[in-house]
Amino acid sequence: MIDIEGFDDVVRHSWAIGVESNNSWVRFKKKLQFLKSNIQVKNSSSRIRCRSKRKMLQDSLESIDARIIEGDGSASLRELRVMTLKELNELDHLSNVDLAQKAKVKWGIEGGENSGHFHVVVNRKRHQLAIRGIFIDGVWVDDPGRSPFSREEIKRVVWDCGSSKAPGLDGFSFGFIKRYWDLHEDDVVDFVLHFYHHSSIPKGSNASFFTVIPKIWSLVKLK
């Protein structure tokens, strides 16, 4: 629902709230939680308006078609029909995007059940997929913690990810992060650097919020 009218205002207003915490993870999490709550309210009212508008447009289209069948083929009426169909298609597009996001979240929750077999497979491969070092600017580093991430590196990683991919079940896709990068760049950078310096997840944060999942054998680059 990122394209609905007024969405930008909701995001920017929500992100401007003050969060009192010295922990960048806690600040980032609370801002996302507050934003998500406001987006849910916005989406709920938007869906009601969309349903009402769609009913009105559908009735208008049926009326236009009835007049055309009766012989009224004026240019203005045909133009009105085209405009009505265009508005209906735009509403259907917004609805399809909303349904696609809901399906993605539903699959994330229910698709990969925490079965015993799943855990056996993961534990067996844990040693094989362990990251023992990486190449940084052509130099092998077996203790990557000595090379902090730069602001440019963090942004590049975000932009390398598909816009429709979501980092978690919170529903905030990389497309969302890219679109509002100017708004929350500092929060994202502080969030990443906090984990780099402390190597720990604050109490109360979801441990799955930040997960490194190697998808290839012999991983030597963070990409």
In this structure, of 119-123, 150-154, 159-163, 210-214, the range with the lowest mean pLDDT score is 210-214
What's the confidence (pLDDT) of residue 40? Answer: 80
Rounded to whole angstroms, the Cα distance separating 188 from 15 reads 13
Q: Which among 60, 39, 46, 41 has a CA at the least distance from the CA of 91?
A: 46
- Please determine, for residue 105, whether its predicted confidence score (pLDDT) is greater than 80: no
Q: How confident is the model at residue 127 (pLDDT cuts 50, 70, 90)?
A: low
Q: Any idea what the Cα angle at residue 25 is, between residues 104 and 106, rounded to 5°?
A: 10
The upper half-sphere exposure of residue 77, i.e. CA atoms within 13 Å in the direction of its Cβ, equals 15
Q: Return all residues near 178 (Cβ < 8 A) that are at least 6 apart.
A: 158, 159, 163
195-217 pLDDT per residue, tens: 788 777 777 665 555 555 656 66
For residues 82-88, average pLDDT: 90
Percent of the chain residues past pLDDT 90, beyond the cut: 4
Q: What is the pTM of this model?
A: 0.51
Contact 184, 176 (CB under 8 A): no
Q: Tell the burial category of 10 from Cβ atoms under 10 Å away from its Cβ (0-12, 13-18, 19+).
A: middle
Q: What is the mean pLDDT of the chain?
A: 76
57-76 pLDDT per residue, tens: 989 999 998 888 888 878 88
Q: Where are the domains of the chain?
A: 7-110, 116-209
Higher pLDDT pick, 51 / 123: 51
What's the confidence (pLDDT) of residue 213? Answer: 61
Higher pLDDT pick, 164 / 34: 34
Query: Which residue in the block uniquely carries the two structure tokens 């597009």?
Result: 93
